[in-house]
Amino acid sequence: MAITGVLRPGHVQIRVLEMGPALKHYTQVLGLREVARDDKTSRVFLKAWDEHDHHSVVLREAEEAGMDRMGWKVDSPATLKRLAADIEKSGLCTELGWIDAGEQPGTGQMFRFTIPTGHVMELYAERTRLGNNCGTAGEDVNPDPWPDGQTGISPSRFDHCLLYGDDLDGTVKLFTEVLGFGMAERVMAGPDLIGAFLSCSNKAHDVAFIRQPVKGKFHHASFLLGSWEQVLRAGDILSRTKTSIDIGPTRHGITRGETIYFFDPSGNRNEVFAGGYSYYPDKPAITWHADDLGPAIFYHDRKLNEAFLSVFT
């Protein structure tokens, strides 16, 4: 197993204005499965069908939409302690601290910190495994390729987030020099870095950041589909359910992925995403220039949708 340290995005906690409409969207339209509730904190926990861990999406009812925090699973408790010490030593983060096991259901101790762009991140090593309902019990023995009873778009997993913030340089330094991510793609405005697509695995990106004069803003959470045909089917489902679509189906130049963007009832942007390429640490970073950003974001239209840049929560 070559991937060590930070393994993958583990969860995203999204603020929603009303839990009823939000749950209908995330379970019936997007097609996630509810696995737990915490009435004391007004939170509901969900997972996609091919995720074995207890949950990957947390919805919290609040007065303002957006993202509370993003979590990352690491390979072991020893790595969790090492990375926590490295983050503290770096001096790049604020509001650092340990969170007791059980703050999220089935989840061990977490280390929480605020990165230079103002986003709250969490690292954890342990989470209860529920399996993927493909006929497995305990260990993966003779599973089916997909489970019965899928609803809505039904992505296989939570894939990545795109986040907006001001101190992009500090955040990139943290992710690349402390957490061990690679820079898969970048967007430059002259000599200035304005976009970073970062990978801790062999995906085209596990998180992306865009420089904006704000802190801690949430552009979208993305969920993985298996093919371009499934992205087109997602568009049909979104239209049938009268879900607000931002743009697509289309293709990105950055990452080469096929995509459609849409909004939950609180105004949080979702994406379902397929394709892309395999990233390895020895792959040179792809560079895009801001003066020709249209095809980088929307390869087919070759022009930007203004709402894509200006609407965030």
- Residues with catalytic roles: 160, 205, 220, 252, 261, 271
Identify any residues that bridge with 183 across adjacent strands, giving them in sequence order.
198
Q: Report DSSP state, residue 299.
A: T
Give, rounded to a whole angstrom, the gap between the first and last alpha carbons of the chain: 37
Cis-peptide into 249, omega within 30 deg: yes
Q: Nearest CA to 271 among 253, 305, 245? A: 245
CA distance 116 to 59: 24
CA 4 remoteness from chain centre: 19
Q: Residue 102: which residues within 8 A CB-CB, separation 6 or more?
A: none
Instruction: Look at the alpha carbons of 209, 26, 75, 68 in this order and tell me if their dihedral is positive or negative.
Output: positive
CA distance 81 to 117: 23
Cα distances (Å, whole numbers) of residue 115 to 59, 170, 173, 306: 22, 8, 10, 27
The strand ranges marked E within 17-165 are 33-38, 43-47, 57-61, 66-74, 94-99, 110-114, 120-124, 157-165
Is residue 283 within 8 Å of residue 248, measured between CB atoms?
no
Cα distances (Å, whole numbers) of residue 47 to 10, 69, 107, 138, 291: 10, 16, 14, 18, 39
